[in-house]
Chain A
Amino acid sequence: GENVEQHPSTLSVQEGDSAVIKCTYSDSASNYFPWYKQELGKRPQLIIDIRSNVGEKKDQRIAVTLNKTAKHFSLHITETQPEDSAVYFCAASRSRNDMRFGAGTRLTVKP
């Protein structure tokens, strides 16, 4: 089955700096890669996603890049703000819709 690895497990940045979270996946059949943000005690919320036919996608301060050959994808957050502090999960799924999550990255943005 699919295995998704995520790094780093914790990330601390100063407000205004950029944050990068990286994930790798094992199954070349995976074709959909969402990113979720989960604040303490809250539900996971989709923040951006990318499909395997696209190399990069951007939405305001958030961008995701995908390298299918290397089987890795990354989340980039620019101009970080304290409200960006949360746990971020990458995920990968195939046509069966069996989405697998990475272990998560706890991002702390210091004011």
Chain B
Amino acid sequence: DTEVTQTPKHLVMGMTNKKSLKCEQHMGHRAMYWYKQKAKKPPELMFVYSYEKLSINESVPSRFSPECPNSSLLNLHLHALQPEDSALYLCASSQGGGGGWPQHFGDGTRLSIL
């Protein structure tokens, strides 16, 4: 069973649309992550939230806006995306806020930009 739940599983949107990706975990983890994965490539870190605070932003364009409403939820707000943003977006969580904790991934949202 997937302990990190992501919705929606698939999303198709136009370049002028605004949409949000959602991620939820109920393992009591204190760190949550967004990754982007293109086909046949490794996941690339986008954002890290530690204890509900943004701790890492890997120079991600402002058309991606993360939000952590509480320790169990993580959102990624999308606006004015480009075709090259089409990818699998993975959410992960880990027990601790520092390094050295195993990260557990959700099944991802497959995003297509028209």
Interface residues of A (CB under 8 A from B): 31-32, 34, 36, 42-46, 49, 51, 89, 93-104
- B42 contacts partner chain A, Cβ-Cβ < 8 Å: yes
Q: Ordered nearest first, which 3 A-B pairs have the shortest CB separation? A: A101-B42, A32-B100, A95-B99
The stretch that binds A, out of B13-21, B43-51, B63-71, B77-85, is B43-51
Interface residues of B (CB under 8 A from A): 2, 31, 40-45, 48, 50, 55-56, 58, 90, 94, 97-108
Task: For residue A55, give the distance in angstroms from its CB to the closest CB of chain B.
Answer: 16
Q: Which residues of B contact A43 (CB under 8 A)?
A: 2, 90, 105-108
Q: What is the bound-complex CA distance between A17 and B98, given in angstroms?
A: 38
Specify which of A42, A97, A101, A104 is in contact with B56 (CB 8 Å cutoff): A97
Q: A44-B43, A46-B103 are in contact. Are A98 and B98 (CB under 8 A)?
A: no
Closest to A43 in B: B105
Q: What is the bound-complex CA distance between A63 and B2, given in angstroms?
A: 24
Q: Which residues of A contact B44 (CB under 8 A)?
A: 101
